[in-house]
Each structure stands twice: as C-alpha cells, then as structure tokens.
Amino acid sequence: MTSGSASDADVDKAVASAHKAFQSFRNIPAAERGLLLLKAATLLEERTAEFAQLESLDTGKPLYESEMDVGTAADCLRVIGGIVQNYHGNHYDLGGNFAYTAREPLGVVGGIGPWNYPLQTACWKVAPSLACGNAMVYKCSEYTPLSTVAFAALLKEVGVPAGVFNVVAGAGRWGLAANAAPGRF
C-alpha cells in the first residue's frame, strides 16, 4: 500500500496489510529472503539513472550525488542479502544441558525515513527487517516520497509478497499515530 498523505485509516490499512502478509512471509527461509534482497540490489543498480533522477527531483541534490546514493543503497541490500544466507541459530553444549539461540521473525516493524537520504535510509531499514522475516510499514518523508514509492514497486517486482513492505507518507503526526496504539507494531 502506498499513500501520498496518509490518514489514520490509511495507516491502519497498511498495518493490517503488513500483519496479514507477515503470517506467510515469516515462513520463507532466510536464504530465500536474502535472494530477494540480492535481486533487488541488482535491479536497483540496473536502474541507477531512474532512481537517481527521482532522488534529485525530491531532494534537490546534484545528479552525481544521487547516483552515489543509489549505489550505496544497492550495497546495503547486497550486504544484508548476503549475510542472511548463513542465518541460523547456534547451539552451545553445556555438559548435558543445552542452550540455543532461535532466530525468529518478530512481526510488523515500523520505520520512519528522513527527507535528505530517502532511498538510502529506506534500504538501511527495510533490508534487515525483511531479511529477518518481518513485514514493515515505512513512513517516508512527505517532502521526498518518490524514490521510496518506486523502491516499494521494485521490491514487488523482484517477488517480495504484497503487504510485506508498505509505504505511507504524510505529516509528521503519522509517527505519533503509529506509536499511540499498543500492539500496532
């Protein structure tokens, strides 16, 4: 779900969509989630010119700087996508007893992005969340939504299931609304 000026009802829809998508996304093996991020990194690099143009339109940065931002956003996806390939719990032998670490998705994660590095920040927050099997509702800056909305479409294109990554934009009060309801995230 994507909304240009989100109301509380829009945020509720995005959160409900994320909770629904989480139920199946959490069961996708970590290695497969990592492959989705690697595919997204490759596609983002292939579309550097398109995304850099959106970043420059949004932020007012020179095109060469936006091109670097797209590159480092793709780097983030690639690093996290690679790390999660070897993501599993650990077993510690305690002489007959044992302890272990179970790495399990938590649920729906909320993220808030700034105006000055919209695509990079989205990737910094989305990559670890999705790699760990969580769904996300992401509030991009109301001033710079273009690249984040395009990134949401790119994630869908590489196979991230609908509802796993939801973008809402609007006034800063969205953050207050999101945090006011217990159990929302």
Strands (E), 35-132: 91-94, 97-100, 108-112
Helix-helix angle 8-25:173-180, to 10 degrees: 60
**Tens digit of pLDDT at every position of the chain (185 positions):** 444 577 778 888 999 999 999 999 999 999 999 999 999 999 999 999 999 999 999 999 999 999 999 999 999 999 999 999 877 666 665 666 666 666 789 999 999 898 999 999 999 999 999 999 999 999 998 899 999 999 999 999 999 999 999 998 877 665 555 555 556 66
Sheet holding 2-3, edge to edge: 2-3, 165-169, 135-140, 108-112
Decide: residue 16, CB within 10 A, 0-12 exposed, 13-18 middle, 19+ buried.
Answer: middle
